[in-house]
């Protein structure tokens, strides 16, 4: 995973972009993987670990009405986390996650391993839905890896500067 994080940092440094994360189910794992790379402080400004709904609302800009209508594990909340984090952290790109790592927490229609990722950039905010099939640690690892790959894919599509 460090190769992907290192590539993200190299591209962002070259393009003079900044990165932040808003994490729920991964509990700071995405930020950890990024900060394992020497020099990550050139582009990585910070993270919000918004494990509770209260912190999602207070720090990450998630609306109570969104939580009430869709639940914490939803595309809508992932989008608000990413967009709110981009604003709160003052970054160019913000990646967010919300999910059910397991072993408990599943509800009808929301099984263990369900994650939503949000990516907010100057181009807007988009989400992805993923269903990972591992145990708690595996689901968190897969979500973090998928989030980093998504950021890298986005960066590779940017025009050359």
Domains and CATH numbers, the chain: 2-157 (3.90.950.20)
**What gap in Å lies between CA 97 and CA 114, rounded to an integer?**
11
Token pair 């991964």 is at which residue? Answer: 26
Q: What is the pLDDT of residue 160?
A: 78
The answer to whether the pTM exceeds 0.95 is: yes
Token pair 């994490």 is at which residue? Answer: 23
**For 1-30, what is each residue's pLDDT tens digit?**
579 999 999 999 999 999 999 999 999 999
Q: What is the dihedral of CA 23, 27, 28, 32, to 10 degrees?
A: -140
**What gap in Å lies between CA 129 and CA 31, rounded to an integer?**
20
Phi and psi at residue 12, in whole multiples of 5°? -65, -40
Q: Give the lowest-confidence range in 8-17, 44-53, 152-161.
A: 152-161
How far separated are the first and last CA of the chain, in Å rounded?
26
The closest of 71, 143, 140, 60 to 106, measured between CA atoms, is 71
Mean pLDDT of 70-90: 98
Give bridge partners of residue 98 from the DSSP assignment: 116
């Amino acid at each position: 995973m460090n190769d992907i994080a290192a590539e993200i940092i190299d591209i962002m440094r070259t393009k003079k972009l900044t990165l932040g994360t808003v994490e729920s189910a991964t509990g700071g794992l995405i930020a950890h993987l990024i900060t394992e790379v020497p020099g990550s402080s050139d582009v990585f400004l910070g993270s919000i670990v918004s494990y509770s709904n209260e912190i999602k609302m207070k720090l990450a800009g998630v609306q109570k009405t969104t939580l009430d209508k869709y639940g914490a594990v939803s595309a809508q909340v992932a989008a608000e986390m990413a967009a709110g984090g981009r604003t709160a952290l003052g970054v160019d790109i913000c990646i967010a996650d919300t999910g059910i790592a397991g072993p408990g927490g599943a509800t009808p229609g929301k099984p263990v391993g369900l994650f939503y990722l949000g990516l907010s950039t100057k181009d807007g905010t988009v989400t992805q839905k993923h269903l990972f099939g591992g145990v708690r640690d595996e689901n968190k690892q897969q979500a973090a890896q998928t989030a980093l790959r998504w950021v890298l894919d986005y960066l590779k599509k940017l025009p050359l500067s």
